[in-house]
Amino acid sequence: MATPPSYLVPYPQRGSVLADEELEAITEVLRSDVPLSGGVYREAFEQRFREMIGARHALSVTSGTVALSLAVALLGLRPGDELIVTPQTYKATIQPLLDYPVTVRFCDVDPLTLNADPASIEALVTERTKAILLVHYGGLPADMDRIMDIARRHGILVVEDCAHALGSRYRDRRPGALADIGCFSFHTSKNITTLGEGGMVTMHNAEHGDAWAVRLDRMRSNDSDADYVPAGLRIGDRQDAPPWMLHAGNSYTHDCVELRSSGTNATLPEPSAAVGIVQLNRLDRLVKRRRENAARITDVLRAFPFVEPVTESGDVVNAYHLYTFFLDPAVGVTRDTVVERLGQLGVQLQLRYFPLHLLPEWRARGHRFGECPAAEEVWFRRQVNVPCQPSLSDQQVNHLLEALHTVLTEVERTAG
């Protein structure tokens, strides 16, 4: 059996950097008498996050996947509803939709950004379209003004998956406050982490946001997503709940008139929230390092006309959760050859992400190859992702640049 290669530039196992401040924050929590399952640190983290994003509400949960699942629950999906989704994202973005009797339509992507293509979205809109689910791929915000214009004209809700986009900007605004609902991940690979897992749901819809925040707080706290009214007849004809019924809540005094779904326990623990506060304070420095690494990579790639990197326009700031570039197939060397050669030179790569409409569970729903031509062409033939995480040392970044230059020079010579 061949020995696995030793990578000088590893694929990021951690997308953030943890230091003494995080240890001090955890120690402070453990030495206090606050309940570890949620309280003052969680509330402070949510307030800080809400103010930074500029959203009406921000509620933390245990993971980005849970955030997306709860966000979908807020949409009020019914049989026959249709949703337009991007195929170029992690499966968690749309995975909750497998539990609903709805029609999922995959839009295509812009081949230069891998974000949802607004023209493709509009072509899929019908009178049954309930919502759009998109991602800010790699940290580059999608074309949200065009997408939100489509959504508002047709009365469609928009959920933005911001798992890559913490630290990004879109025309002086931040992802998470660009649509109706935003979902963030604090997984160990993301731009900040809350001890390996964590998430946040932001709500910026003026009409529904306040009610959504109440519903989501119930769901994450093990309460049902339901509507309650004062009880007409109190249980046992008692007028007041006994004082020892500390957790009785409205179960004694109210009746349920509409039940939408059961709840879950998804409250972010206090140590995680305390670390999240420290990580938010460090976010600008972490993103600055990502952008510095990305700029150096781009400088190398610019010397090769058969390579096109994902960059940014003047009114958009890319947080570079992922660094992506595209290889022109006409050069005569396959993308797979380039990826394999970089691996031989000590650069560990993963290509993010396999087109979702081609996953087995979505093919079981009737989706097929050819549905999203641009996404398929890019992923199977052109796309390369290379590391740019802030934990890379200067030596590792230098090695990455040298490897890229070596491999692309070999491609250029082969083409010549």
- Report CA 149 to chain centroid distance, whole Å: 22
Helix or strand or coil: residue 337? helix
Looking at residue 394, its amino acid is D
CA atoms of 238 and 173, how far apart (whole Å): 53
Check if the beta carbon of residue 159 is closer than 8 Å to that of residue 183.
Answer: yes
Helix or strand or coil: residue 400? helix
Q: Who contacts 152 (Cβ-Cβ below 8 Å, separation ≥6)?
A: none
Check if the beta carbon of residue 199 is closer than 8 Å to that of residue 65.
Answer: yes
Question: E strand or H helix at 159, and its extent?
Answer: strand 157-161
CA atoms of 8 and 395, how far apart (whole Å): 9
Give catalytic status of residue 190 as yes or no: yes
Catalytic position from the list 91, 130, 190, 288: 190
**Closest C-alpha to 329, from 295, 371, 388, 376:** 376
Token reading at 345:
């030179």
> HSE on the CB side for 144, CA within 13 Å?
30
CA atoms of 276 and 282, how far apart (whole Å): 10
Q: Where are the beta strands (DSSP E) in 181-261?
A: 181-185, 199-203, 225-230, 254-261
CA-derived radius of gyration, the chain? 23
Q: Who contacts 373 (Cβ-Cβ below 8 Å, separation ≥6)?
A: 108
In DSSP notation, 54-103 reads T-SEEEEES-HHHHHHHHHHHT---TT-EEEE-SSS-GGGTGGGGGSS-E
Q: What interhelical angle do 209-220 and 64-74 show, nearest 10?
A: 130
Cross-strand partners of 159: 133, 181
In DSSP notation, 17-37 reads ---HHHHHHHHHHHHS-S-TT
**What residues act catalytically?**
190
